[in-house]
Amino acid sequence: MDFNRTNAKDWLLKLMLIDRRGAHILSAVAGSVLLTCACATNPVTGNREIVLMSEAQELSLGRDGDAQIRNDMGVYEDQSLQAYVEEVGFELAASSHRPELPWSFTIVDSPAINAFALPGGYIYLTRGIMAYLGDAAELAGVLGHEIGHVTARHAVQAYTRATGATLGMVAGSIFMPPMRASPYGAPGLGDAAGTGLGLLLLRFGRDDETQADRLGAEYAVASGWDPHGVGDMLSTLARIAETNDRRGIPNWLATHPEPEDRVTNVASTVDELLATTSQAGLRVERSGYLNRIDGLLYGDNPDQGIVRGNAFLHPVLRFALEFPEGWEVQNSEAVVVARQPGSENHMILELLEKPQGRGLQQIAENSMDGAGYRLRQGSMTEINGLDAFVGTYGQQVRDLGTVVARVAHIREGRSIYVFGGFAPVGEYSSVERDVYESIRSFRRLGRDEADKIKPNRIAIYTSRDGDTWQKIAQSGGTEIVSASTLAIMNGYAVNHQPVAGDQVKIVVPG
């Protein structure tokens, strides 16, 4: 959570942008363009189609969205790796149907497993997905897929299908999670469903994704890369979908073809391409890719706060807290959310922007009132030496009935943090104690303790006889990631053990 970067307006709105499985939701800046109906030729298919956006407008939206993405998500600070991704990306773009676009390829500083594109040629990979790619051919496959979304003008077609409203920016993604309505509501969002915010979250359909898979394979071959990389990455996604280790895993399945189906479909395309192309010169570059991601930051960036088990620590702002044991914790650019699995019980942490009120109690009441919650009871208190107002609030929410919230507004220096739990009234009593203990866990971090918090990183290890994923995962005395995650990260099925002599990615403490 980067409290310095986020410009979000309220924390309940941001809860709407957190997928319940912990997927990081990627969105871009909303904009508007003149709706001018025109007929244009699709660069990929050659078919004439009605569109509501000119190429100039497409490029303008891409430029504006790129600035917002870079500001909101941050660029991963590894110039060598960035240059490598650009090199591969530009090769693919030059072989695409729209080589003249001002292409841009960027690794953004997010642990989520994702890749996405903005109109006009702006392509993004998260550093999270870089850890799951097995070689440069897979990198080319993912980049080629995203290039395909742009060359086929899928975003423009999505805008046109939506019709008749102020247009927002769409972030096209092979893993784009569905927009999830907050169980607790957010004032004003109901009116936005058909306007900029609603169109902001348009997703590509199944046919678009299948076409982008095919284009990714075609561009890979045309650039000298092994097209099997597309299917290999989709196989990895399929394995992720089968595991119970959901933290950081995108929920793309609701709106995209099943990964297994996509593997089958793209395999046919690959066979067709290789039937007319010599495989002798096609590149894979596994060792070269692994060497480049050796040292890659894995998981949360401590500069934005870091999750360790059920604890959240922010070494820069120097505070820490603990969420209830067993809850799924997701740290995003704007908010930290924990969810009790299988329920609508949540806890939320956020820095309150522009507090309104003279005292902490008035600030708390105004903050909650603006989100539609009414104070039932509350009092001033201290939490580990920090002034706080802790209140119980309620609100009627459609489909859930009465929702009860226990929320603390905590003053730390000049900052006020909002930290609380939310649950339907029938569930609240079962989590009340957990919420209370979590709120009381908020504390300052000592400088020495903060300085010791380092990020986890990817390291390259040569497997030996007798190695298992479980043994490797526990080799440092602490299991940072599960054995199944290590297997999937290295392109293995979870029931297959590493082959002796193989170079594999492991996760080590910083």
φ, ψ dihedrals at 112, nearest 5°: -65, 155
Cβ neighbours of residue 270 closer than 8 Å, sequence gap 6 or more: 217, 227, 228, 230, 231
Mean pLDDT of the region 323-345: 88
Mean pLDDT of the region 435-464: 95
Asked whether residue 17 is assigned to any structural domain, the reply reads no
Mean pLDDT of the region 194-215: 63
Mean pLDDT of the region 63-82: 90
Helix (DSSP H) and strand (DSSP E) numbers for the chain: 16, 20
Asked whether residue 320 is assigned to any structural domain, the reply reads yes
- Contact status, residue 184 vs residue 401, Cβ threshold 8 Å: no
- Contact status, residue 229 vs residue 137, Cβ threshold 8 Å: yes
Query: Taking the CB of residue 193, how many other CB atoms lie within 10 A of it?
Result: 13
Asked whether residue 365 is assigned to any structural domain, the reply reads yes
Last residue of a domain, one of 451, 468, 490: 451
Asked whether residue 25 is assigned to any structural domain, the reply reads no
| pLDDT tens, residue by residue, 222-260 | 999 999 999 998 888 778 777 644 444 443 333 345 666
What is residue 5's predicted lDDT score, i.e. its pLDDT? 53
| Residues 326 and 434 occupy one common structural domain | yes
Mean pLDDT of the region 353-359: 88
CATH number at residue 333: 3.40.1000.10
Last residue of a domain, one of 432, 451, 470: 451
| pLDDT tens, residue by residue, 484-495 | 999 999 999 989
Does the pLDDT at position 153 exceed 60? yes
Asked whether residue 204 is assigned to any structural domain, the reply reads yes
Tokens representing residue 22 in the block: 């912990």
Asked whether residue 55 is assigned to any structural domain, the reply reads yes
Q: Identify the CA nearest to 356 among candidates 44, 10, 53.
A: 10
Does the pLDDT at position 189 exceed 50? no
| Of the listed ranges 69-78, 242-251, 294-303, 329-338, the one predicted with least confidence | 242-251
How many domains does the chain contain in total?
Answer: 3
| pLDDT tens, residue by residue, 292-315 | 999 999 998 998 899 888 899 999
What is residue 75's predicted lDDT score, i.e. its pLDDT? 95
Show the 3-state SS of 114-127.
Answer: CEEEECCCEEEEEH
For 478, how many CA atoms within 13 A lie in the half-sphere containing its CB?
Answer: 7
What is residue 263's predicted lDDT score, i.e. its pLDDT? 82
Asked whether residue 264 is assigned to any structural domain, the reply reads yes
- Contact status, residue 158 vs residue 202, Cβ threshold 8 Å: yes
| pLDDT tens, residue by residue, 371-395 | 889 999 999 999 999 999 999 999 9
| Domain range enclosing 227 | 31-177+200-278
| Residues 331 and 439 occupy one common structural domain | yes
Question: Maximum CA pair distance of the chain?
Answer: 75
Cβ neighbours of residue 236 closer than 8 Å, sequence gap 6 or more: 132, 134, 488, 491
370 vs 478: CA distance, rounded Å:
44
Distance in Å from the first CA to the final CA of the chain: 19
Angle among Cα 80, 508, 239 to the nearest 5 degrees reads 85
Last residue of a domain, one of 425, 451, 477: 451
